[in-house]
Amino acid sequence: MVEDINLLIEKYEGILQSEPDNKDILIKLGICYTSINNFDKAIEIYNKILEKDPKNAEVLNNLGITYTQKGKLKDAISKFEIAVKLNPDNIRFWNNLSETYRRLGLYHKSNICRMRAIQLSDLK
């Protein structure tokens, strides 16, 4: 599995040589780095995207996931909160925020977010 991800990383980095601002490839590369626990590299990539596209809710969510996996839960919450403000109908964003609040012991906030996710799922 790690070998496969390392091959993808090589592929994506090769593409970025000629297309350094290719957002789709940068996102995929960030996901790859997160999946092999190279959180600092993933954070660097996501922040590079956000410099040019600060309202990219998907990247903010990915950055929140990376911070969560790194154990930086307060940083994760700040990214998830922005993501849900930018895209309030995204169930996944609400679930990620809820879970991170729960991990910090903020159960009331977690329940509010979980209920919002449930309400959204009922609408679909």
User: What is the residue-averaged pLDDT of the chain?
Assistant: 96
Q: How many residues does this entry show for the chain?
A: 124
Kindly state whether residues 124 and 90 are assigned to the same domain. yes
Kindly state whether residues 86 and 120 are assigned to the same domain. yes
* Predicted confidence (pLDDT) at residue 34 exceeds the cutoff of 90: yes
First to last CA, the chain: 35
Backbone angles phi, psi at 55, to 5 degrees: -105, 25
* Predicted confidence (pLDDT) at residue 65 exceeds the cutoff of 90: yes
Per-residue model confidence (pLDDT) at position 10: 96
Q: pTM of the full predicted structure?
A: 0.93
Kindly state whether residues 87 and 40 are assigned to the same domain. no
What's the total number of domains in the chain?
2
CATH of residue 75's domain is 1.25.40.10
